[in-house]
Chains A and B, each alone.
Chain A
């Protein structure tokens, strides 16, 4: 109650002064109880403005400050620093928002100044009662869990491990590599995808600080920034990693043939398999779902017989591990809309209607056709191909409203590679707009159009009609204003990118937000693109939204650098304005536990307990508590009530 308060009123150029009579306001403020000094300035946030505050604090021996200016979301930090450098506890700064909440939204009448005065009065009442608060210091576990073993996860893991911190890289599938491992060549440079990815996979797998968990999932995340406890569930591989030499003797022995997921069903594999020759770890996997041994009884052990090092173990069980980590990186990648989504293109009934990733497998030397482009129905080399862009993208009505970002480029690449492989083949690319916004991208499309003479037809395809072993494409050339009907041997749909399966469950477990399209939400679309809305959890790659390889790598490197920034501190310094429990009053009803949106409250021996790193000081628990036993520090009942009273008069 006895704080010596100084009031500083900002003109904000004319933003405030245009409608608020600043001089009248200053006079009124100067006369308020507890106010030792009141002054106005053109721009308080400027260096001279801050200097003014610092000087007056010293001169007038102030111990609390009210700044009447813009919204506290803008300059709280600025003014806290200013008062702190003059020796005032930063939590004794109050901001009266007389711009967004007053001058901008009211006309220049006496009422407006009156309202500004009420806001200032309210701030003064609070300032008179503020107590000094000290930031909270929390320990920090300098280790990371990276979820997702594609190029984003690999990049993030390597950057963090290189800086000297241990990383657990958790991959759901049997091997690392993700989508990039499935690609043939990459635009716009036509680098072979595996040639640039394999060295990274090898590097990460040999890094002494990286522990790789394949066939593994994160099933639970406890704790908060600096101190997460992550539960990793390991599915059995039924092949002992240390034993398997990668000789592959088991494969011919296995009688079970299954469509290979890695080849998008275009090729076959056995129930014991390795998806591609450069796989890391190079350990075979026994897929129990398709193995003859469905129950506990072993009726087929041909692979085990064939395996000289005796690496096959039908008895392996799932296991769990609890890992401590200061940060988590989510790099769970993406999927594409399934062909069955496209009813107008015949669902997935026509074998010669495939998606872009399937075409990548047809182009890939390690793919089902060893890099020869052959269509699925009769294995003939297609003499004509139609590429259909925006299949499900930019289609709010039946697909996804967003642009998938990569299709224009990979379609141009597909056309080019096909043209090189089958020079007399005909290509039609049906597109709506060409978006080639990366470095060297427009030049690449230009080369495909001009040098390779690929036919771009501007118009969306309405329907595909199978006809005599071909597909009739119903399109339009909107530039000519004419309908187009072409018969082709193969149709490649550039299907929309969508978040990978299971992202929703992971988001729930890790308590991160997802957006309307199911991608992970970043904290701010422009300024915090690699942070999730949950502190300590970072995003990398297409899990956050469609992007190509170079943008994915940059995003992942960004996430890694955020982690390293966090780890550069010895401990975490947290805002003190978090909830505190008055243990004498708490009756242990646990109502607050259910109300807290951050799961920060738990009951210990009948008394509520606040986790200091989880609590964000939102105050939801305050009205929930019947016993008035808890609420955020810095927002005490007497302070708030005094503020309300001041507003009312």
Chain B
């Protein structure tokens, strides 16, 4: 069993708990223990991009200090937005010694951050294990399930904080193939869902979700898979306009756990607006895996 530091972030403890429960179970089944940091705080959700707003990075920086304290070289995140914010903050202080020194002075109650922690996304972790190793552990191949990976923005952009090519990523596709699913490569998979704009302009999200669902449906997908709680909210809980059909939206971790043989309750813990069960049962994916 390999142990790695794990930073959950706020959403995974609340409405996106389904992502975490499945993700931890899947990791366990792959022989990886994700050790949650004893103390952590909100990463800030978004990276502040202006030179005058460096203080906004403190939240993320404190989390990196926690990882350093715990003595881990790397920290794993599942939430796409957390990984993006932590990575961008980390990149910024690493590339600028003055900025790091200033921030460290500001957090003088904390040990100084040395800039040595690596932020690792859950998908990158799985990719490192390799498709073959994962395929070897699959107990319930997702045969026949046509899934369109949906990356959204923060997993791939900006490139300095992305886990794969910003225009044509492949990491989820590779992993889905290892899980036995039918991969649908949808051209909208890196296009924004509207993100936080749903707060002040609710109508925008329906339009974006329609475009994304519509394109995936057109490409032959039965479900979308994402790693971002905000995308999941926008694509599933908000979804396309009421009169338009919506696909099932999975957290990617749910599909991994399912394929690795976890119990359906573990895989489908939190509520999804569009119930995945009918789809999964037509594919025979809710049954006990064959030994």
Query: Using Cβ atoms and an 8 Å threshold, which residues of chain B touch A344?
Result: 167
From A225-233, A375-383, A442-450, A462-470, the one touching the partner chain is A462-470
Tell me, rounded to whole Å, the shortest Cβ–Cβ distance linking B49 to chain A: 18
Contacts of A464 in B (CB 8 A): 187
**Size of chain A's interface in residues, with CB distance under 8 A?**
10
Q: How far, in angstroms, from A358 to B36 measured CA to CA in the complex?
A: 56
Query: Does B200 reach chain A (CB closer than 8 Å)?
Result: no
Contact, CB under 8 Å: A343 / B165: yes
Fill in one digit per residue for A324-344: 1 if any B CB lies within 8 Å of its CB, else 0: 000000000000000000011
Are B165 and A346 interface neighbours, CB within 8 A?
Answer: no
The reply on A27 being an interface residue by CB < 8 A is: no
**In the complex, what's the smallest C-beta–C-beta distance from A627 to chain B, in angstroms?**
51
A347 at the B interface (CB under 8 A): yes
| Interface membership of chain A positions 235-260, coded 1 if the CB is closer than 8 angstroms to chain B and 0 otherwise | 00000000000000000000000000
Q: Which residues of A contact B116 (CB under 8 A)?
A: none
Taking CB atoms, residues of chain A closer than 8 Å to B167 are 343-344
| A340-357 CB contacts (< 8 Å) to partner B | 343-344, 346-347
Which A residues are in CB contact (< 8 Å) with B221? none
Chain A residues with CB under 8 A of B165: 343
Q: Which B131-165 residues sit within 8 Å CB-CB of chain A?
A: 165
| A464–B188 alpha-carbon span in the complex (Å) | 10
Contact B168 A343 (CB under 8 A): yes
User: For A467, what are the chain B residues with a Cβ–Cβ distance below 8 Å?
Assistant: 215, 218
CB distance from B120 to the nearest CB of A (A): 24
The reply to whether A347 and B218 contact each other, CB–CB distance below 8 Å, is no
* Shortest Cβ distance from A346 into B: residue: B187
Number of A-B contacts (CB under 8 A): 15
Contact between A347 and B168, CB atoms less than 8 A apart: yes
Closest Cβ of chain A to B181, distance in Å, is: 20
How many angstroms from the CA of A344 to the CA of B188 in the assembled complex? 11
Interface of B: prevailing SS? loop
Q: In the complex, A347→B168 CA distance in Å?
A: 8
Which residues of chain B have C-beta atoms less than 8 A from A343's C-beta? 165, 167-168
Within 8 A of A (CB), among B174-209: 187-188
Chain B positions within 8 Å of A466 at CB level? 187
Within 8 A of B (CB), among A606-624: none
Residues of A within 8 A of B187 (CB): 346, 463-466
How far, in angstroms, from A159 to B218 measured CA to CA in the complex? 59
Shortest beta-carbon distance, A377 to chain B, in Å? 16
- Most chain A beta carbons < 10 A, residue from B187, B188, B215: B187
Question: B283 to nearest A CB, angstroms?
Answer: 26
Q: Could you tell me the distance in whole angstroms from the C-beta of B192 to the nearest C-beta in chain A?
A: 12
Name the B residues within 8 Å of A346 (CB-CB).
187
The docked-state distance in angstroms from the alpha carbon of A347 to that of B215 is: 18
CB-based nearest B residue for A343: B167
Mark contacts of B4-23 with chain A using CB atoms, 8 A cut-off: 1 yes-contact digit, 0 otherwise. Answer: 00000000000000000000
Shortest CB-to-CB span from B275 to chain A, Å, is: 28
A346 CA / B215 CA spacing, docked (Å): 15
With both beta carbons as reference points, the residue of chain A lying nearest to B187 in the complex is identified as A465
Residue of A nearest to B168 (CB): A343
A463 to B191, CA, bound (A): 10
Q: Which residues of A contact B215 (CB under 8 A)?
A: 465, 467
Chain A, residues 462-487, CB within 8 Å of chain B (1/0): the string is 01111110000000000000000000
Bound complex: CA of A616 vs CA of B284, how far in Å? 80
B188 surroundings in chain A (CB, below 8 A): 465
In this complex, what residue of B is CB-closest to A465?
Answer: B187
| Complex Cα spacing A466 to B167, Å | 15
Bound CA–CA A467/B215 (angstroms): 8
Whether B218 pairs with A468 at a CB distance below 8 angstroms is yes
**Residue of A with least CB distance to B211:** A465
Residues from chain A with a CB closer than 8 A to the CB of B168 are 343, 347
Residues of chain A whose beta carbon lies under 8 Å from any beta carbon of chain B = 343-344, 346-347, 463-468
* Top 6 A-B pairs, shortest CB-CB distance: A343-B167, A343-B168, A465-B187, A344-B167, A466-B187, A347-B168
Residues of B participating in the A interface, judged by any CB pair closer than 8 Å: 165, 167-168, 187-188, 215, 218
Chosen A-B contacts, 5 in total, with CB atoms closer than 8 Å, are A343-B167, A347-B168, A464-B187, A465-B215, A466-B187
Give 9 A-B pairs besides A346-B187, A465-B188, A465-B215 with Cβ atoms closer than 8 angstroms: A343-B167, A343-B168, A344-B167, A463-B187, A464-B187, A465-B187, A466-B187, A467-B215, A468-B218
